[in-house]
């Protein structure tokens, strides 16, 4: 199906309505539709991922920092009181709620109240799929049931049938009337609910969730179908998240063409057309407002075959990952893209918002499935995962609170975002019930799904993409593999067949940062000639007890900023190093000047004016590059001299509760 223009979309809508193709299938059963759930495959993984991805239930994390984060996150998911999370939903539908209200972005007056429930649905479903935790499944089912009850009550509450949200439908009246100062991102909330409901259906087996999702998608269809193309484009100037992606996924599940037509209405031409033409116009645009649009484009390409969508996704990834990212893979300063190759002059404690990297990892994962032999996308995925996302969670918090920004200025600190919470504790990433930013929400998913891209597969065998202790049941091949590694502190990756027999090729990624050819040992005997085109590839009839060891040599590397080569970051293998406790004297004053009081969240909007002038690089500590020495293997640590004094360098993901510095003025100290 080709991309439809605005007029064609409206004509197609009219034809569908005229033919009586309304989504009536769900009305027969409150429990949901009679569609048969696929035996394998997760619809958001796309068409290529249906064959290439391993289901979360097939992969188990073993002891490691990733597993530790997963368990802290699961503890928080189970801790959150569903009735408190539903408080503003119930009030919106005129129902009593004795629960205490939440604070932060979930406070009763917030314009984005309710968004966390969508993430919570996803986080619970992902956790159940990967760990089998029954309490996570039960909590998700309870939330779905309560949301279904509220959705049924929509007409009695004065809302249109199928409407579901924690704020009144009049928000969409204001949006359509151009009164954008009165709203923040109402369709963004709808996306989060749809995505969470789809996850509950596909990952947790909650049939009722699909019925709720279909009724909500029908509401989106009815709401947007009467609008002209020009009117819709004006609406799309306001953040709508990944709503078209969720609609495409719902179309793929149900086969209902209305959802595809509705998704196409959310094609934001002003942002996407330049990408289709190969132009990098990202500078000044808000990163997290726009990155989800690319995910929708990629999924649209998969279901329609229109190459325009593919060009959008591939061009964007090339621009964003290669020319707009910092050394840790994250993007954006004060949530906006800089001009291409601007790094040194855009360092602050407001770089690398977690939500942006969350969406970049989703996009990178989908691209990987389309060409599993590519290692550049996996190198980028690894850089983001090990340097930013693993470190966004506070390991000193029993509930694994997630930080909003990973700052990269000298003396950066992981803390509550002071531009939104100027009165927050500077030593705290978030809180149980009084933060709930968008990064709190995406963190509930990120920390739950570390297992999803470690491995992939094709008809010939298994790909080992990431080096994380884990076990994978390869049902296609009939074997189970165990990965043991102390990576990145230890460069040895050991893969053992624990059960089953299979004639297949086992591939292990050779990253671009490798300091030389990998060492490969099979059952104690060295192998040569197995590494080519970025992979160690070994074909044999594998049997229990077979062990393949791959050693990936690492070295120190210095990464000059494109706009100021004397400004550099330091890495060891894939890990970016940070000066622990370094840079406080260089840190800018706190953000009181541009902060927004956390009691006035209703006034926050997602589109502050982005600066047009590129500032000069800020002052940075002077690092003696020749002085960097490794002093400890596990945990990894280095020493160096900066500003004439000794400093300790550690992986940036492990920096916490003290200032740290990633970029330096490099030279002879």
Give me the domains of the chain, ranges plus CATH numbers.
Answer: 6-452 (1.50.10), 454-487+492-551 (2.60.40), 556-667 (no CATH)
Contact 485, 494 (CB under 8 A): yes
Whether the bond between 626 and the residue before it is cis, its omega within 30 degrees of 0, is no
What local confidence, expressed as pLDDT, does residue 423 receive?
A: 87
What local confidence, expressed as pLDDT, does residue 568 receive?
A: 98
- Give the Cα separation of 243 and 240 in Å (integer): 6
Q: Which of 660, 456, 620 is nearest to 45 (CA)?
A: 456
| Residue 609 reports pLDDT greater than 90 | no
What local confidence, expressed as pLDDT, does residue 18 receive?
A: 30
| Residue 16 reports pLDDT greater than 60 | no
What local confidence, expressed as pLDDT, does residue 594 receive?
A: 43
List pLDDT tens digits, range 130-169: 999 999 999 999 999 999 999 999 999 999 999 999 999 9
The DSSP result for 185-229, as a single string, is -HHHHHHHHHHHHHHHHHHH--HHHHHHHHHHHHHHHHHHTTS-H
List pLDDT tens digits, range 177-206: 999 999 999 999 999 999 999 999 999 999
Q: Could you tell me the two tokens for 100?
A: 């205490």
List pLDDT tens digits, range 270-301: 999 999 999 999 999 999 999 999 999 999 99
**Residue 503: phi, psi to the nearest 5?**
-95, 110
List pLDDT tens digits, range 54-111: 999 999 999 999 999 999 999 999 999 999 999 999 999 999 999 999 999 999 999 9
What local confidence, expressed as pLDDT, does residue 613 receive?
A: 53
Confidence category of residue 12, pLDDT binned at 50, 70, 90:
very low
Confidence category of residue 614, pLDDT binned at 50, 70, 90:
low
Contact 624, 638 (CB under 8 A): no
Helix (H, G, I), strand (E, B) or coil at 326: coil
| Residue 628 reports pLDDT greater than 70 | yes
Q: Which residue has the tokens 């309870």?
A: 142
List pLDDT tens digits, range 504-553: 999 999 999 999 999 999 999 999 989 999 999 999 999 999 999 999 99
- Residues 227-247 have a mean pLDDT of 98
Q: Could you tell me the two tokens for 616?
A: 């000069």
Q: Which of 313, 314, 348 is nearest to 330 (CA)?
A: 348
Q: Could you tell me the two tokens for 35?
A: 């569609």
Q: Could you tell me the two tokens for 327?
A: 């050394």
List pLDDT tens digits, range 474-505: 999 999 999 999 999 999 999 999 999 999 99
The more confidently predicted of residues 608 and 52 is: 52
- Give the Cα separation of 443 and 392 in Å (integer): 8
Q: Which residue has the tokens 């259906």?
A: 201
Contact 638, 630 (CB under 8 A): yes
Helix (H, G, I), strand (E, B) or coil at 525: strand
Sign of CA dihedral 424, 428, 430, 433: negative
Q: Which of 355, 399, 436 is nearest to 106 (CA)?
A: 436
Share of the chain above pLDDT 70, in %: 90
- Give the Cα separation of 218 and 79 in Å (integer): 33
Q: pTM value? A: 0.92
Ramachandran sector of residue 114 (left: φ over 0; alpha: ψ -120 to 50; beta: rest): left
Contact 549, 494 (CB under 8 A): yes
- Give the Cα separation of 402 and 410 in Å (integer): 21
CB atoms within 10 A of CB 27: 12
What local confidence, expressed as pLDDT, does residue 471 receive?
A: 98
What local confidence, expressed as pLDDT, does residue 589 receive?
A: 61
| Residue 22 reports pLDDT greater than 80 | no
Of the chain, the end-to-end C-alpha distance in Å amounts to 62
The more confidently predicted of residues 591 and 571 is: 571
Contact 295, 363 (CB under 8 A): yes
Supply the mean pLDDT for the chain.
91
What pairs with residue 579 in β-bridges?
Answer: 649, 661
What pairs with residue 650 in β-bridges?
Answer: 578
- Residues 555-578 have a mean pLDDT of 97
- Residues 22-39 have a mean pLDDT of 39
Q: Which of 564, 128, 149 is nearest to 341 (CA)?
A: 564
What local confidence, expressed as pLDDT, does residue 618 receive?
A: 81
| Residue 601 reports pLDDT greater than 70 | no
What local confidence, expressed as pLDDT, does residue 615 receive?
A: 65
Q: How far is CA 497 from CA 113, 535, 647, in A?
A: 48, 19, 43
What local confidence, expressed as pLDDT, does residue 668 receive?
A: 62
- Residues 657-662 have a mean pLDDT of 96
Which residues, in sequence order, are CB contacts of 334 under 8 Å at separation 6+? 348, 350, 419, 608, 610
What local confidence, expressed as pLDDT, does residue 41 receive?
A: 78
From the number of C-beta atoms within 10 Å of its C-beta (0-12, 13-18, 19+), residue 208 rates as: buried
């Amino acid at each position: 199906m080709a991309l439809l223009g605005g007029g064609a979309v409206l004509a197609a809508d009219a034809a569908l309505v005229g033919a009586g193709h309304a989504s009536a299938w769900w009305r027969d059963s409150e429990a949901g539709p009679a569609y048969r759930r696929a035996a394998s495959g997760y619809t958001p993984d796309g068409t290529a991922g249906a064959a290439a991805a391993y289901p979360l239930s097939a992969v188990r994390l073993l002891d490691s920092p990733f597993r530790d984060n997963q368990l802290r996150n699961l503890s928080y998911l189970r801790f959150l009181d569903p009735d408190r999370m539903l408080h503003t939903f119930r009030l919106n539908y005129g129902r009593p709620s004795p629960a205490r209200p939440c604070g932060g972005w979930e406070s009763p007056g917030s314009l984005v109240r309710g968004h966390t429930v969508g993430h919570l649905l996803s986080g619970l479903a992902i956790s159940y799929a990967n760990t089998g935790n029954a309490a996570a499944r039960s909590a998700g089912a309870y939330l779905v049931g309560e949301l279904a009850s509220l959705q049924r009550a929509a007409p009695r509450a004065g809302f249109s049938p199928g409407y579901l949200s924690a704020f009144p439908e009049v928000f969409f009246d204001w949006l359509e009337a151009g009164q954008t100062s009165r709203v923040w991102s109402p369709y963004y909330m709808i996306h989060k609910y749809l995505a969470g409901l789809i996850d509950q259906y596909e990952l947790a087996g909650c049939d009722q969730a699909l019925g709720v999702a279909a009724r909500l998608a029908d509401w989106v269809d009815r709401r947007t179908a009467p609008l002209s193309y020009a009117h819709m484009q004006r609406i799309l100037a306001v953040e709508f998240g990944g709503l078209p992606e969720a609609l495409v996924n719902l179309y793929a599940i149900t086969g209902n063409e209305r959802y595809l037509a509705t998704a196409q209405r959310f094609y934001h031409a002003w942002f996407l057309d330049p990408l289709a033409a190969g132009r990098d116009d990202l500078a000044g645009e808000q990163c997290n407002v726009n990155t989800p649009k690319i995910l929708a484009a990629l999924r649209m390409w998969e279901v329609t075959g229109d190459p325009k969508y593919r060009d959008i996704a591939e061009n964007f990834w090339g621009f964003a990952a290669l020319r707009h990212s910092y050394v840790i893979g994250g993007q954006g300063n004060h949530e906006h893209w800089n001009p291409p190759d601007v790094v040194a002059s855009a360092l602050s404690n407001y770089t690398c918002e977690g939500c942006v990297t969350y969406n970049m990892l989703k996009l990178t994962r989908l691209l990987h499935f389309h060409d599993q032999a590519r290692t550049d996308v996996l190198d980028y995925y690894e850089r983001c995962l090990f340097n930013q996302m693993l470190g966004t969670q506070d390991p000193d918090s029993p509930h694994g609170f997630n930080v909003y920004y990973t700052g990269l200025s000298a003396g950066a600190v992981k803390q509550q975002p002071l531009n939104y919470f100027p009165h927050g504790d500077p030593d705290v990433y978030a809180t149980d019930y009084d933060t709930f930013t968008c990064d709190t929400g995406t963190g509930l998913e990120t920390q739950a799904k570390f297992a999803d891209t470690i491995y992939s597969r094709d008809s010939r065998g298994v790909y080992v993409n990431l080096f994380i202790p884990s076990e994978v049941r390869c049902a296609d091949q009939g074997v189970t593999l165990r990965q043991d590694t102390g990576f990145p502190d230890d460069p040895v990756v050991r893969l053992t067949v624990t059960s089953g027999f299979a004639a297949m090729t086992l591939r292990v990624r050779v990253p671009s940062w490798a300091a030389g050819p990998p060492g490969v040992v099979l059952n104690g005997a060295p192998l040569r000639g197995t590494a080519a085109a970025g992979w160690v590839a070994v074909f044999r009839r594998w049997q229990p007890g077979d062990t393949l060891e791959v050693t990936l040599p690492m070295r120190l590397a210095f990464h000059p900023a494109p706009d100021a080569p004397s400004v550099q970051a330091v890495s060891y293998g894939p890990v970016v190093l940070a000066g622990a406790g370094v840079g406080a004297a260089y840190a800018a004053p706190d953000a009181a000047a541009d902060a927004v009081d956390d009691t006035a969240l209703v006034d926050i909007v997602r589109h502050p004016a982005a600066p047009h002038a590129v500032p000069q690089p800020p002052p940075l500590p002077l690092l003696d590059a020749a002085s960097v020495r490794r002093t400890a293997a596990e945990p990894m640590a280095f020493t160096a001299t900066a500003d004439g004094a000794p400093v300790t360098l550690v992986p940036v993901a492990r920096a916490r509760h003290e200032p740290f510095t990633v970029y330096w003025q490099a030279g002879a100290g």
